[in-house]
Amino acid sequence: MEPLYEEYLANHGTIVKPYYWLSFSLDCSNCPYHIRTGEEARVPYTEFYQIFGFPYGPVYPQTKHLTFYELKTSSGSLVQKGHASSCTGNNTHPESMLFEMKGYFDSALHNNNAIRHIILYSNNSPCNEANHCCISKMYNFLIMYPDVTLSIYFSQLYHTETEFPASAWNREALRSLASFWPQVTLSPISGGIWHFLLNSFVSGVSGSTVFQPILTGRALADRHNAYEIKAITGVKPYFTDVLPQTKENQNIKAQAALESYPLNKVFPGQSLQVTSGRPQPNLTPDLRVPVIFVLVPFRDLPPIHVSQNPHKPRNIVKHLNMPQTSFQETKDLGRPPIGMPVERMEITEQPARSKEMDERKKKKKGKK
């Protein structure tokens, strides 16, 4: 197989031209080496923050695409790690480069049949717009390699909102890709995955910096992504919710947080309401406040498939306008359903004998 790419040995890995005809371009700072492997795949912390929006939350406008990847065996041993960056000169996305027929991944699996698992960590979810066809190339790749599993983690959804002309096409393509479950999983980056990325793909960070707290703005965006991808695909993603919650007010806090979180700003304003001379904080969260969570081995957890017929609560006697659990039918996809109106009815039973006795007593009283 004659590949489309050219690969060169570097100091700490390899650098790759995804297409052999690429040359240095003034329009693209990464040209022509858009794929880097090994320790060459590390990026500066400032670049990671600007593209992935960690730890504060999404940064807009976002024009660059960056995808970190791992190639692994069936036992979980790492064969190769690397990254692919978008080409602004040729308007090409990383997934399009990686999954091209006769491209880098195709050649890697052709030359090493021990590779059984591909993990992507992207700042954007894959799209299927005409100029890129990322999901179509993934789809064909998975058909060609049915024994290979693909896990995709993303920090924000790309062009799935209704204001984008290609949103319907992208959403349909994501549903099509998710239909490969369990061969394919689509999940937001969340929880300990952020610290894994810092440790494995970012340069100049070490020690406590790697395990810095996840700020509220980032945690809210991750939660939003989890609900949105489930709404689009119908499949529950892997997701670690790191926002602190209590049993009493978790629904109120979740609703207020999602309502007050504008997805087009990094730091929304925070105000104080004065009541009886004392400042009372409103429910708008400070996106720079760290949240505490438990680090879990995310790669050891199996994907969770959403059943279309979940069990109903046992203690509910009667439901009023009970919403469907399918997110595809939810009117407001930007936030989870907070609760359902419930009418509780107390039913008491009386033995037949006691009932007859009461009737007899009433008759006797009437005769007197």
The C-alpha atoms of residue 92 and residue 132 are separated, in whole angstroms, by 6
pLDDT at 354: 52
Query: If you average pLDDT over every residue of the chain, what do you get?
Result: 76
Peptide bond into 182 cis (omega under 30): yes
Mind listing the pLDDT tens digit for each residue in 96-153?
Answer: 999 999 999 999 999 999 999 999 999 999 998 878 889 999 999 999 999 999 999 9
Least Cα distance to 186 among 228, 226, 230, 152 occurs for 152
Q: Inform me whether the pLDDT recorded for 252 exceeds 60.
A: no
Pseudo-torsion of CA 353, 355, 358, 360, nearest 10°?
Answer: -70
Percent of the chain exceeding pLDDT 90 equals 51
Kindly name the residue from 40, 95, 100, 228 that is annotated as catalytic. 95
Give the distance between the most distant pair of CA atoms in the chain: 112
| pLDDT tier for residue 68 given thresholds of 50, 70 and 90 | very high
Residue 253 CA to chain centroid, in angstroms?
Answer: 21
The C-alpha atoms of residue 96 and residue 7 are separated, in whole angstroms, by 17
Q: Inform me whether the pLDDT recorded for 227 exceeds 70.
A: yes
Helix (H, G, I), strand (E, B) or coil at 236: coil
Tell me if residue 95 is catalytic: yes
pLDDT at 251: 46
Ordered structural domains, the chain, with CATH: 5-235 (3.40.140.10)
Mind listing the pLDDT tens digit for each residue in 285-313?
Answer: 444 444 444 343 444 444 433 333 333 33
pLDDT, mean of residues 39-51: 95
The C-alpha atoms of residue 74 and residue 81 are separated, in whole angstroms, by 16
98 vs 205: which has the higher pLDDT: 98
Q: What is the pTM of this model?
A: 0.69
Q: Inform me whether the pLDDT recorded for 365 exceeds 60.
A: no
Quick one: CA dihedral 173, 177, 179, 185, positive or negative?
negative
282 vs 152: which has the higher pLDDT: 152
Mind listing the pLDDT tens digit for each residue in 306-354?
Answer: 333 333 333 333 333 333 434 343 333 333 334 444 444 444 444 445 5
pLDDT at 301: 41
Antiparallel, parallel or unpaired: β 149-154 and 115-122: parallel
